[in-house]
Amino acid sequence: MDKIMRPVILLGYLLSPLPAIAITFLANPTAYGTMKGLLPMVLGAAAYTWLMAELVISARPKFIEKYFGLNQFYRFHALTAIGAIVLSFFHKQLEDAIWRDFIPLISNLGNYAFVIFVGLAGLSLFFMTGMLIRHIPFLAAIRQFLEKKRIVDFNLSILIHNFNILAILLVFLHVFILSAFYQKNIWICGIYTIYFAIAFAYYVYHKRVRISLEKLSPYRVVEVREESPNVHTLVLKRRMRSPKYKAGQFVFIRLLADGISSEEHPFSITSDPNDRSTLSVTIKSVGDYTSKIPALTTNASAIIDGPYGVLGNSVHRTRSELVLIAGGIGITPMISILKDLRHKDPKRRVILLWNVPTRAELIFQNQLAALARYMPNFTFIPILSRDKNFNGEKGRITYEKLARLLAHHRYQSRHAHFIICGPTRMMDSVIDSLRDLDVNKKRIHFENFSM
């Protein structure tokens, strides 16, 4: 299904400006019959449509996300936004060159929108994605410094990012005033307004209406369980059963309680998808928000958006042996995958390699032991990076260690599916090792815990 739906969705996205282009052209074939008239219009229509699409994408439509996964979806969001801004730049250059004394109000609306888009795109690339900082260590150091000094954090970046809506409104006015008051064409005005209305309604639904509806039937925290001094599991329950989810997926949680911000944060689901009476997430205290989790009391309300993610798709869709590789709190999706397998395929060959600094971080020991009792072909190998006295695997997950452990436990790198979750650097290094082991990239699945 994915193989068909992904190209269909991409094609739909690429072709989405066509109705606007066709209607604008047909409304005035004389004006758009020459390259001089046609090109700026086509560029403008494509930029407009794809900027409106960004509004829909930013609302994380699940019916599209489920074919790509949120990481890939957000990368697409970043790249297509840059593409739309580049198109609007060329549209503006051509319009300025051709219509030197174009109506100032309309030009200015477009110009202001352009400046906002460019500014916010730069900030978002820097603060919200790893796309720039991954390749430029100097920028990575600046971001780390600003985050450490609490000058900027992820949620402030989201707040600033939301100003894009202002630029979208300006772009809409730019096109609306031109088509309604100067071109005076109801068809052109209508098609551009429809694009805007769909995108805007979807955005408002996601950001406001859905949250208000969810508040009518919120989840309640029924247990806050300490797994280790800085890792806690929240067990959540609501009147209706939890939504259907697949093992390995995650949700965005918004806690409505005193003493904690109501911003939403993503966490992988750690409960068993076969038992939807409760839903649990396990959270490591790393910053302002997560360090408030231990103080949370039962009965606090929560709103959940999800599930999202495609990390565990290969578990449900294939019968292949599985190699689960976790780093630190990256164990969370794995525990749900294992609980699910216990019900659906307990004889599956599964090996879990879990890299943590010390024994204190090895949470879920009882659950893993219980799973091992029901799953005869499950192997668990803890790998401790900072415990020299540990009587087992030590250090990090290197190429040599992976090759040795896989060979020893008779896992075939060409046939297994590999599911990886952990800190970005660890994941990058594991993925490189797997590629060196000739693992096909279609068999490597990973989830990045930083968006």
Ligand X SMILES: Cc1cc2nc3c(=O)[nH]c(=O)nc-3n(C[C@H](O)[C@H](O)[C@H](O)COP(=O)(O)OP(=O)(O)OC[C@H]3O[C@@H](n4cnc5c(N)ncnc54)[C@H](O)[C@@H]3O)c2cc1C
Binding positions for ligand X, rule: CB under 6 A: 153-155, 250, 263-268, 281-284, 286-290, 329, 332, 447, 449-451
Q: For residues 262 and 274, which CB has a smaller minimum distance to ligand X in the complex?
A: 262
Q: For residues 154 and 390, which CB has a smaller minimum distance to ligand X in the complex?
A: 154
Q: Which residues neighbour 146 within 8 Å (Cβ) at sequence distance 6 or greater?
A: 152
Q: For residues 155 and 183, which CB has a smaller minimum distance to ligand X in the complex?
A: 155
We find the least distance from the C-beta atom of residue 378 to ligand X, in angstroms, to be: 21
We find the least distance from the C-beta atom of residue 365 to ligand X, in angstroms, to be: 18
d(CA 245, CA 316): 12
| CB-CB contact of 383 with 355 (8 Å) | yes
Q: Which residues pair with 420 in a beta bridge?
A: 325, 446
We find the least distance from the C-beta atom of residue 153 to ligand X, in angstroms, to be: 5
| CB-CB contact of 334 with 356 (8 Å) | no
d(CA 367, CA 369): 5
| CB-CB contact of 272 with 331 (8 Å) | no
Q: For residues 54 and 361, which CB has a smaller minimum distance to ligand X in the complex?
A: 361
Closest residue to ligand X, based on beta-carbon distance: 287
> Biggest alpha carbon distance in the chain?
82
d(CA 335, CA 331): 6
Q: For residues 172 and 289, which CB has a smaller minimum distance to ligand X in the complex?
A: 289
We find the least distance from the C-beta atom of residue 213 to ligand X, in angstroms, to be: 21
Q: For residues 11 and 451, which CB has a smaller minimum distance to ligand X in the complex?
A: 451
- Say whether the peptide bond before residue 229 is cis (omega within 30 degrees of 0): no
Number of Cβ within a 10 Å radius of residue 291: 14
We find the least distance from the C-beta atom of residue 263 to ligand X, in angstroms, to be: 5
Q: For residues 300 and 406, which CB has a smaller minimum distance to ligand X in the complex?
A: 300
Backbone angles phi, psi at 299, to 5 degrees: 85, -5
For 191, the enclosing helix (H) or strand (E) is: helix 186-204
Long-range (24+ apart) CB contacts under 8 A made by 191-196 are 191/19, 191/20, 191/23, 191/24, 192/20, 192/48, 195/20, 195/48, 195/49, 195/52, 196/52, 196/168, 196/172
We find the least distance from the C-beta atom of residue 411 to ligand X, in angstroms, to be: 25
Number of Cβ within a 10 Å radius of residue 141: 11
We find the least distance from the C-beta atom of residue 329 to ligand X, in angstroms, to be: 4
Q: Is the dihedral of CA 357, 359, 363, 367 positive or negative?
A: positive
Q: For residues 84 and 334, which CB has a smaller minimum distance to ligand X in the complex?
A: 334
Q: For residues 263 and 345, which CB has a smaller minimum distance to ligand X in the complex?
A: 263
Q: For residues 24 and 280, which CB has a smaller minimum distance to ligand X in the complex?
A: 280
Closest CA relative to residue 289, chosen from 146, 153, 148:
153
We find the least distance from the C-beta atom of residue 251 to ligand X, in angstroms, to be: 9
We find the least distance from the C-beta atom of residue 154 to ligand X, in angstroms, to be: 4
We find the least distance from the C-beta atom of residue 255 to ligand X, in angstroms, to be: 12
In which residue are the tokens 């750690």 written? 270
